[in-house]
Structures are given as C-alpha cells and as structure tokens.
Structure 1
C-alpha cells in the first residue's frame, strides 16, 4: 500500500466559512488546552498525562459543534510531538499554537464514507458539500483516507486529500 495526496482549491459559502473558522479555533484550543494540562500534570507528578478531547466536551460545550475527528487528530499531533520530546529532548518541547502566527488547518479522516468527492464537490463531516475545483482525475482504485482543510493568510481555502492505493510494481523483461 502507498499513499498519494492531491491538493484542490475549495470554495465554501458564507455559512461553511464560519464552520471552518470554528473548527480551526477548536482544534487550536484543544491542542493548547491539552498541552497546558500535560505541562501542569508533569510539573506536579513527573508523569505523562493521557488526556483526550472527549474529557473537555462537558466543560466546553461548543467543542461538540465541530468534527470530533479533527479534535482527535489534534490530540494525535500533540501526543506525537510530546513523545518525540521525551525520546529526544533536542527536538524541543511542543509549542502552543498561536491565533496569529498559525496557518489555519485541520485534518479529518474518512470513516464509512463521511468524506467523499462527487460532482465537483467534496463532502466533509459537519460541513456538508463544498464546491471544489477538481483539476485532475482520481483513479477509481484509489481509496480516500483523509482530508486536510487549510486556509491561507490571503483567505483562500484548500483541501489536501490523501488517497491509499495498491503499489503494484510493473514487471520488466530483461534485455537479451
């Protein structure tokens, strides 16, 4: 199995732009909140804290408005950075995400067709169908794995779609 990503420009409507902004904010918030809690817990106990986004949804109701897989991916990114620091401290401690210096983005996974590309639109969880400029065809044997939605500082939106496919090696006949 091998992976291949395609990046497409997307054109969300006004309502979808608001949902994207909420998702970007919630992903940044959960990353920072979990990192802050990990730091406090480590200072008090010298142990690693295992926390999940679900633990924060009771206290912060508005986290339920966005895609839960986006929050789970933020948790996985933080956990990876945290583990990398403890394995090799010279990599540096994970840094807090800034509202101003950060590229807005989030990643969601395809579960049972929750993400798909059809009729020049991309279907995203909690967002619905967003217009997409599909400038290349995707082979039918490619399986959609995940999508990273990002916004540039100039306000353009992009979807980077990751596909998985069978990595078949072509047989070549030796020269005689």
Structure 2
C-alpha cells in the first residue's frame, strides 16, 4: 500500500494601491450581488410562490447591471458576480439537503 504525500503551498500577495482598490471594489460588488440575489430569491418565494433558479437570477442580474443606479456593477468582472450567484445557489442546495450545521 502506497502512501500519498500531501503538500501545501502558501503564498502571500502584496498588491499595490490600485490593485487594493480593485480588489475592494470586486469584493464589495460580489457581496452586494449575493445579498441582492438572496433578497430577490426570498421575496419571489414568499410573495409570488416562485422558486428562482441560477439562470433566472443570472438574467435578472444582467438587467440589473443596465439600470442607472446599479451600473457600477459593470465595472468589475462578471465572473466574480456570477460566482456569487453560484455560491448562493450552493448554499440553498446544502441547506435543503441537510448539509448545514
């Protein structure tokens, strides 16, 4: 029987000021999208008795980015915003399948 050796690598990043601002903007937008999607999904369920999927939320996010008051969402990568929706979807799946503490 062979034993596998597991290794861990740690990296430390030292972003400059422009990179720090970009990271802060990206994290803030991701947090906003997660909370917006949670509120949207919850309201749809309780008010309209509708269950929104990832695809539904994604198309609503696209529309949301075109609105004047939330056009700042277009300043960051769409990949991180989509990942926030995936994280929310996975959280719901875990909850309803009993994989939470």
Which range, TM-score by smaller chain? Answer: 0.7 to 0.9
Task: Select which of 81, 97, 101 maps to 1:87.
Answer: 97
> Secondary structure in 1 aligned to 2:11?
strand
Aligned residues: 88
TM-score (norm: length of structure 2)? 0.75
Q: Quote the offset at 1:54 in angstroms.
A: 2.1
Instruction: Check if 1:74 corresponds to 2:84.
Output: yes
CA distance in 2 between counterparts of 1:43 and 1:91 reads 22
Change (3 A) 1:30 1:87: same
CA distance in 2 between counterparts of 1:64 and 1:24 reads 13
What CA RMSD, in Å, does the superposition of the two structures yield over aligned residues? Answer: 2.1
Unpaired segments ≥5 residues, structure 1: 93-176
Partner of 1:55: 63
Structure with the bigger percentage of strand: 1
> Secondary structure in 1 aligned to 2:12?
strand
CA distance in 2 between counterparts of 1:40 and 1:67 reads 27
- How big is each residue's C-alpha offset from its partner over 1:50-107, in whole Å with a ceiling of 9 and x where there is no partner? 311323211211111111111111110000111222333x737xxxxxxxxxxxxxxx
- How big is each residue's C-alpha offset from its partner over 1:99-147, in whole Å with a ceiling of 9 and x where there is no partner? xxxxxxxxxxxxxxxxxxxxxxxxxxxxxxxxxxxxxxxxxxxxxxxxx
Structure with the bigger percentage of helix: 2
